[in-house]
C-alpha cells in the first residue's frame, strides 16, 4: 500500500461500492474517481449516503461489495488505522482528556514521527490557533474546535483528507471564512480533499469536481460549471440551483438541434445538451437565462420562445428581480432578471413572452420526476 | 439557573440593593430546605457517632472499677498505646485492601469493558451480564463468605485441582491463609469496582474510538491512549469504593483467615465486644478513619481526575 506517510495526495477510486444496512442499501453500486491533489465535493440531501461513503473510505465501515483503492492500492480489507486517510468528523470528535496540542500531535505520535509537538504547533499556526495550544477542547468555541479537528487531520499529510460537513455547525459568516481557509490549506499542502456537504453553494465555490448524490447513487459528476450549465437529471437540475422543466415530445432529430414540441410550442435543443433525442423529454432552462418579451418586442436570434403568459408574481431581491410567469399549457416558469437599469421592468398581471437562447436549453429524460431534488425553501438557507 | 446565578452573585459581596437581595434569600432558603433531610440524617447517624467515638477514645478506666467502666478524660496516650500494639494489624489491613483492590480492578475492569463496550447495542446480553454482576447481592454477605470457606477448604476439589497442577505443594492449603482473606475481600467488593467502571464506560463515545483508529492507533493503542484515560474517573470511584470498605472489613479475616491474618476491623470488633476496651477500639477506629482519609486524598490528587469527575 501507499504507506501512511504519503507526502502529497493520492488518487482515490471507489469501484462499484455498495453498503447495505440490514439489507437496505445506503450506498448503491457507487463508482467514482478522485484525482490526486483535487478538491472533490460530495453533495446531496440528508440521508443520501454521503457519510456512509466517507466512512467506507476511512475504514470505519466495511463495504458489502466493491473495492476501494487509494493511490492504486486496494485498501478494501485494511483497517482504519492502516489507511493513509484522515477524517475531520462532523462532530469533531476531539479527545477531551488531551490538550489541543496533544490532540493535534496524536496521529504523529502513533506513527512515531520526529518532533510531533513542533509539527503540531505548525499545524495550529496553519489554522491560526497557536495561542490555544494548551487549552482543553471543551474550553474552545465551536469554530475553534472545528479548526483544531482540521489541524489534527491535516498535520498527518494524509493521502486523502475526508471532511464530513465540517462547517455545518458554523454561522454563515464564519462558514464563508472557513471555506476560504480550507481552500487555501488545500492548495497550500496539495492534499486530496473529499468534502461532504449538503450546501450546494459551498460545493460549487470550493470544489474542482462535484458529485451530486441521491439515494445512495451518484446522479452526476463534473465541474461545478458543467453540472450547473448541463445537468443530466431532473434531480441535479433542481438540487443545484433552480430550473424550469417543461414536458415535451421530440418531433425532429438527426441534426445538431433537436426539435421538441412543448405544449404546442416548438423549441430547439442542441443535441449534445440532450440526454435523449427521441420520445418524451423534459426541456430545461435556468431562470436567469430567460428573457421577458413584451408585446411587439423583437425575438432575438437563435432563441426559443414560449408564451404569451401572465406575470403572477414579482419579487425584488436587490441584485435581481424574480418573476413567476404562468403560461397556459406549460405551467409556471421562474424568471430572474438582473436589475441593470434599476427596479422591475414588467408589472404584475402583464402579458409577456419568454425567450431563451437555444444554446442554454437542455433536455432530460422524460421519465424523470419534474419535482425531484427541489429544495424546500426553509432548507435552502 | 436562577438559583445558581443568584448564589453566584451572592459571593460578590454586599453591594446589592434590597430589591435584588430579597428573592435571593428566598432562593437560598429553598435550596437549604431541600438539604434538610440529608443534613438531619447525617447529623444523627454520622456526626454524633463520630463525636462520641472521639470522646470515647480519650476515656480512662475508672480506678478500681469493673471491666468496661470508663470515665471521661483526655488520655491521648490511648492512641500511642493502641498504635504501638496494633500497628501490624493496621498495616496488614491496608496491605490486604490494596492487594484486593488491585485484584478487583484486574478482574472488574475487563468485565465492565466487555459489558459496556463489547456488548454495546445488545441490550439483552448487557442486562444479563449486569444481573450476573449484581446477583451475589441477592444472598447475604456472610453466607457467601462461608461458601468461600467451603470452596477453599483442604478437601475441596478447587484445592486438589490447584495441587494437581503444581501451583500448591501437596501439603499446601488455602483455607485460613492471607491468600484466602484477600480472595474473599476481592470477591466481596468486586461489584463495587465493576459497576462504577461500567457506568463510566457505558458513556464512552464510540466516535472517540473511531477518531483514534482514524489517527493510526490500533485497537490496543486506542484502548491505552483513549479508552483508559477517559475511564479514569470510573476507575477512581471503583477503587475507592473497594479500598475503603475493604480496609475496615473484619468478616473475611474472621471467616477465611487465621490468627496471623488479623485485620484492624477484627481488632476493633474484639476490643469492643469481647474485652470491652472501648477507648482502644475507639482510638483504632479514629486512626483508621484518618488514615483512609489521608490515603484517599493523596490518591485522588495523584490520579488528577478532579476535572474529569
Ligand atoms: N449504522 C447504520 N445502521 C443502519 N442504517 C444506517 C446506518 N448508518 C446509516 N444508515 C442509513 O443509511 C442512509 C445513509 O446515511 P448517511 O449517514 O450516509 O447519510 P448522509 O448522506 O450522511 O446524511 P446527512 O446529510 O444527514 O448527514 C440513511 O438512510 C441512514 O438511515
Ligand atoms: Mg452525514
Query: What Cα–Cα distance (Å) separates residue A317 from each residue in A41, A344, B41?
Result: 29, 10, 69
Residue A23 has pLDDT above 60, yes or no: yes
Mark whether B43 and B149 lie in a shared domain. no
The predicted-structure confidence for A37-49, as pLDDT tens digits, reads as follows 899 999 988 889 9
Are B26 and B108 in a shared domain?
Answer: no
Q: Which of A32, A41, A42 is nearest to A11 (CA)?
A: A32
Q: Are residues A213 and A336 in the same domain?
A: no
8 Å CB contact of B216 and A4: yes
Domain check: are A214 and A248 in the same one? Answer: no
Structural domain includes residue A92: yes
Identify whether residues A44 and A180 lie together within a single domain: yes
- Note down the domain range covering A138: 12-229
Residue B65 resides in a domain: no
Statement to judge: residues A79 and A222 lie in one domain: yes
Distance between CA atoms of B306 and B309, rounded to whole angstroms? 5
Instruction: Write the CA distances from B271 to B70, B252, B259, integer angstroms.
Output: 14, 18, 15
pLDDT tens across the length of chain B (309 residues):
333 333 333 333 333 344 444 555 555 667 788 888 889 999 899 999 999 999 999 988 888 888 888 888 888 888 999 999 999 999 999 999 999 999 999 999 999 999 999 998 899 999 999 999 998 888 888 888 888 888 888 888 888 888 888 888 888 788 888 899 999 999 999 999 999 999 999 999 999 999 999 999 999 999 999 999 999 999 999 999 999 999 999 889 988 888 888 899 999 998 888 888 889 999 999 999 999 999 988 888 888 765 544
Residues in chain B whose Cβ is within 8 Å of chain A: 205, 207-208, 210-218, 221-222, 225-226, 229-230, 232, 308
Same domain for B223 and B109, yes or no, is yes
3-state SS, residue B210: helix
In a domain, A125, yes or no: yes
The reply to whether residue B213 touches residue A80, judged by beta carbons under 8 angstroms, is: yes
Q: Which residues line ligand 1 (CB under 6 A)?
A: A 21, 26, 44, 46-52, 198
Examine the domain organization and report whether B202 and B228 are in the same domain: yes
CA of A56 to the centre of ligand 2 (A): 13
Residue A290's CATH number? 2.40.50.140
Q: What is the mean pLDDT of chain A?
A: 86
In a domain, A1, yes or no: no
CATH of residue B170: 1.10.3720.10
Residue of minimum CA distance from atom 8 in ligand 1 = A52
Confirm whether A372 is domain-assigned: no
Residue B147 forms part of a structural domain: yes
Q: Are residues A220 and A275 in the same domain?
A: no
In-domain check, residue A352: yes
Ligand 1 binding pocket mutation candidate from A19, A46, A52 (most atoms within 8 A of CB): A52
Same domain, B16 and B79: no
Say yes or no: B213 and B147 in one domain: yes
Residue B66 lies in a domain: no
Ligand 2 centroid vs B207 CA: distance in angstroms? 14
Tell me the CATH number at A21: 3.40.50.300
The total of structural domains in chain A comes to 2
Q: pTM, whole model, 2 decimals?
A: 0.80
Asked if residue B63 is part of any domain, the answer here is: no
- Measure Cα distances from A171 to A87, A142, A178, A234, A381 in Å: 22, 10, 10, 30, 11
What is the whole-number distance in angstroms between the Cα of residue B127 and the centre of ligand 1? 28
User: How many separate domains does chain B show?
Assistant: 2
Over the stretch A145-159, which tens digit does the pLDDT of each residue have? 988 999 999 999 899
In a domain, A380, yes or no: no
Task: Look up residue A84 and give its three cell numbers.
Answer: 493513509
Set of chain B residues whose Cβ sits within 8 Å of the Cβ of A84: none
- With a cut of 70, say whether residue A166 has pLDDT above it: yes
On the CB side of A67, how many CA atoms lie within 13 Å of its CA? 9
ipTM value, please give it: 0.80
- Name residue, grid cell 490468627: B259
Q: Let me know whether A105 and A68 are in one domain.
A: yes
Neighbours of B144 (CB within 10 A): 16
B45 and B78 share one domain: no
Same domain (yes/no): A77, A208: yes
Q: Are residues A210 and A345 in the same domain?
A: no
Q: Identify whether A157 is part of a domain.
A: yes
Name which of B208, B213, B232 is nearest A81 (Cβ-Cβ): B213
Pocket test for ligand 1, best of A19, A21, A24 (most atoms within 8 A of CB): A21
> Are A67 and A193 found together in one domain?
yes
Can you give the pLDDT at residue A344? Answer: 60
User: Residue B252's domain spans which residues?
Assistant: 72-308
Amino acid at each position: 500500500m501507499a504507506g501512511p506517510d504519503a507526502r502529497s495526495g493520492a488518487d482515490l477510486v471507489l469501484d462499484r461500492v455498495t453498503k447495505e444496512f440490514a439489507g437496505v442499501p445506503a450506498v448503491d453500486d457507487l463508482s467514482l474517481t478522485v484525482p490526486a491533489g483535487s478538491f472533490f465535493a460530495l453533495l446531496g440531501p440528508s440521508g443520501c449516503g454521503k457519510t456512509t461513503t466517507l466512512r467506507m473510505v476511512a475504514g470505519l465501515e466495511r463495504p458489502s461489495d466493491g473495492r476501494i483503492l487509494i493511490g492504486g492500492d486496494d485498501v478494501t480489507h485494511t483497517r482504519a488505522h492502516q489507511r493513509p486517510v484522515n477524517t475531520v468528523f462532523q462532530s469533531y470528535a476531539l479527545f477531551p482528556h488531551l490538550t489541543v496540542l496533544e490532540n493535534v500531535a496524536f496521529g504523529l505520535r502513533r506513527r512515531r514521527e520526529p518532533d510531533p509537538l513542533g509539527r503540531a504547533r505548525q499545524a495550529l499556526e496553519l489554522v491560526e490557533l497557536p495561542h490555544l495550544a494548551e487549552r482543553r477542547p471543551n474550553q474552545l468555541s465551536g469554530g475553534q474546535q472545528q479548526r483544531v479537528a482540521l489541524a489534527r487531520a491535516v498535520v498527518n499529510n494524509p493521502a486523502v483528507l475526508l471532511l464530513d460537513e465540517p462547517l455545518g455547525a458554523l454561522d454563515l459568516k464564519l462558514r464563508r471564512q472557513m471555506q476560504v481557509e480550507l481552500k487555501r490549506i488545500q492548495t497550500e499542502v496539495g492534499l486530496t480533499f473529499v468534502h461532504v456537504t449538503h450546501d450546494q453553494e459551498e460545493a460549487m465555490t470550493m470544489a474542482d469536481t462535484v458529485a451530486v448524490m441521491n439515494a445512495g447513487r451518484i446522479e452526476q459528476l463534473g465541474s461545478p460549471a458543467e453540472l450547473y450549465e448541463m445537468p443530466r437529471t431532473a434531480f441535479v437540475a433542481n438540487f443545484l440551483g433552480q430550473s424550469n422543466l417543461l414536458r415535451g415530445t421530440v418531433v425532429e432529430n438527426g441534426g445538431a438541434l433537436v426539435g421538441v414540441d412543448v405544449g404546442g410550442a416548438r423549441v430547439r435543443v442542441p443535441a449534445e445538451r440532450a440526454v435523449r433525442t427521441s420520445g418524451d423529454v423534459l426541456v430545461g432552462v435556468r431562470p436567469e437565462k430567460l428573457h421577458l418579451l413584451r408585446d411587439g418586442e423583437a425575438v432575438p436570434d437563435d432563441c426559443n420562445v414560449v408564451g404569451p403568459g401572465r406575470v403572477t408574481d414579482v419579487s425584488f431581491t436587490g441584485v435581481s428581480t424574480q418573476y413567476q410567469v404562468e403560461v397556459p399549457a406549460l405551467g409556471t416558469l421562474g424568471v430572474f432578471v438582473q436589475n441593470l437599469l434599476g427596479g422591475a421592468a414588467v408589472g404584475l398581471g402583464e402579458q409577456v413572452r419568454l425567450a431563451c437562447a437555444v444554446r442554454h436549453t437542455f433536455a432530460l429524460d422524460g421519465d424523470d420526476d419534474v419535482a425531484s431534488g427541489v429544495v424546500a425553501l426553509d432548507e435552502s438557507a | 439557573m436562577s438559583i445558581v446565578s443568584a448564589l453566584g452573585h451572592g459571593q460578590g459581596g454586599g453591594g446589592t440593593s434590597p430589591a435584588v437581595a430579597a428573592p435571593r434569600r428566598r432562593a437560598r432558603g429553598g435550596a437549604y430546605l431541600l438539604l434538610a433531610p440529608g443534613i438531619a440524617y447525617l447529623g444523627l447517624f454520622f456526626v454524633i457517632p463520630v463525636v462520641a467515638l472521639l470522646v470515647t477514645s480519650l476515656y480512662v478506666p475508672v480506678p478500681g472499677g469493673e471491666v468496661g467502666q470508663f470515665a471521661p478524660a483526655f488520655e491521648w496516650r490511648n492512641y500511642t498505646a493502641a498504635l504501638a500494639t496494633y500497628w501490624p494489624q493496621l498495616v496488614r489491613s491496608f496491605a490486604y485492601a490494596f492487594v484486593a483492590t488491585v485484584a478487583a480492578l484486574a478482574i472488574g475492569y475487563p468485565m465492565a469493558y466487555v459489558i459496556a463496550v463489547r456488548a454495546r447495542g445488545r441490550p439483552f446480553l448487557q442486562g444479563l451480564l449486569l444481573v450476573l454482576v449484581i446477583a451475589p447481592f441477592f444472598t447475604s454477605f456472610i453466607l457467601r463468605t462461608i461458601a468461600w470457606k467451603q470452596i477453599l477448604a483442604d478437601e475441596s476439589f478447587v484445592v486438589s485441582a490447584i495441587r494437581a497442577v503444581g501451583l500448591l505443594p501437596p501439603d499446601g492449603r488455602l483455607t485460613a491463609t492471607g491468600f484466602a482473606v484477600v480472595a474473599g475481600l476481592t470477591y466481596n467488593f468486586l461489584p463495587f469496582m465493576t459497576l462504577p467502571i461500567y457506568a463510566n464506560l457505558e458513556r464512552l463515545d464510540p466516535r472517540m474510538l473511531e477518531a483514534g483508529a482514524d489517527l493510526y492507533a490500533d485497537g490496543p493503542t486506542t484502548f491505552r491512549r483513549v479508552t483508559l484515560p477517559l475511564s479514569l474517573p470510573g476507575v477512581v470511584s471503583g477503587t475507592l469504593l473497594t479500598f475503603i470498605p475493604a480496609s475496615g472489613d473484619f468478616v473475611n479475616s474472621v471467616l477465611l483467615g487465621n490468627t496471623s491474618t488479623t485485620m484492624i476491623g477484627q481488632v476493633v470488633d474484639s476490643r469492643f465486644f469481647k474485652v470491652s476496651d472501648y477507648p482502644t477500639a475507639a482510638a483504632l477506629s479514629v486512626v483508621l478513619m484518618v488514615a483512609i482519609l489521608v490515603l484517599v486524598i493523596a490518591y485522588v490528587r495523584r490520579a488528577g481526575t478532579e476535572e474529569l469527575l
